[in-house]
Amino acid sequence: MLAKVHIYLVVLFIAGIAFVSGCRTSNASPSDDANNVEVVEKGSSWAERRCIKDGWQKLSFSAVGHKRSLLYKGPAGPWSKGVIIVLHGGGGEASHFCSGRRLVKPQIHFTEMALARGFAVIVLDSTTDEVTDAQGRVCGKRFDFSVLNRPNIDLPYIGQVLDSIIPSRRPPGSSQAVFITGLSTGGYMTIRAATYFDNQITAFAPISAGDPFGTDTICDTSLSKRKSAKGILVDRETSKQIIENGSCEAPSYPNESKWQSANPQKKPAFKQFQDASDGIVDLSCMKKAGTMLAKQGYRDRGAFIIPSSGKKDVFKHLWQDAYNEPILDFFDSELNK
């Protein structure tokens, strides 16, 4: 079984995108230097430089002691449809949504379509080797979706984006709507953030993702050959790796961490997206996440599932063009609700 895991993860490493990611902090508000935002004129990579050349802005700032950045682009004039926050998968980069080769083209198409429809887009970038698992092992480049007994790295970062970055760049006459979507461990983090900041999020769409409150990250380098996103994800109820068939199927969920909410009068709607042949996150994990979200009072708009093509395929885990229009239609439909 372990050799099979290695094959899956090596393929995704070669692809340059994808998989695994990190608790409630009592202070997820912006840090003291929330307004100390730098516009970076030159990107740190060829891909970032290409994004900047194409009109994206790279913003750099500090969030609870961590140097963070993001890529931002808005439509011409007001944000008529609001703003979409986007989170990449484990081992990925923000620039994969505005520059890159074949495997990330569907992501680039998504941001292009969103901008054309009047949404602003903010693509977040994870830290590298700052997120740790429960044993303190570093986890590579991924968002901190897991619920652990330590301060979370990414909730304050996202809180700063919501409370400072977005208001400071939103043109007069714009929609106040804020949407969030993400792939793989970025999808797990999408659920963490959307439920934590559920008084500020209009709707959310996790892609190829499961339940962050019932999943553990094990960042043991012996379990994976990937250096960019170390380790594996395991369901807490079954102790199975999430790549396994039926890995998240259980009669009950006693090991689920406590969900964290701002307890708004009306919780945001969600719509899940996944390919039934996903070779990294089993469909049972997506279904578990949907069940738990609905149980917490989030409004389920029905999952978008691409039918199985037969054998599981790691490439079916990635962002697909088939998701783009339905995600934007879903966000559009939630604008005035």
How many percent of the chain have pLDDT more than 90?
Answer: 82
- Find where tokens 């259980």 sit: 250
Answer yes or no: are the C-beta atoms of 60 and 40 closer than 8 Å: yes
Predicted structure pTM score: 0.90
Phi-psi region of 136 (alpha: psi -120 to 50; beta: other; left: phi over 0): left
Percent helix / strand / coil, the chain, rounded to 5: 30, 20, 50
| Cβ proximity of 89 and 315 under 8 Å | no
Q: What is the pLDDT of residues 115-158, one digit of tens each?
A: 999 999 999 999 999 999 999 999 999 999 999 999 999 999 99
pLDDT, tens only, 283-329: 999 999 999 999 999 999 999 999 998 899 999 999 999 999 999 99
Dihedral sign, Cα of residue 177, residue 325, residue 280, residue 47: negative
Q: Which CATH number fits domain 2-333: 2.120.10.30, 3.40.50.150, 3.90.550.10, 3.40.50.1820?
A: 3.40.50.1820
Q: Kindly report the CA angle at 277 between 231 and 317, in degrees rounded to 5?
A: 45
Q: What is the pLDDT of residues 167-223, one digit of tens each?
A: 999 999 999 999 999 999 999 999 999 999 999 999 999 999 999 999 999 999 888
The residue extents of the domains of the chain are 2-333
Q: What are phi and psi of 193, to 5 degrees?
A: -70, -45
| Average pLDDT over the chain, rounded to an integer | 90
Structure confidence by residue, pLDDT tens digits, 225-282:
777 889 999 999 999 999 999 999 999 999 999 999 999 999 999 999 999 999 999 9
Q: Which of 324, 29, 7, 310 lies closest to 160, judged by CA? A: 29
Helix crossing, 321-333 with 105-116: angle to 10°?
A: 30
- Structure tokens given for 239: 């102790």
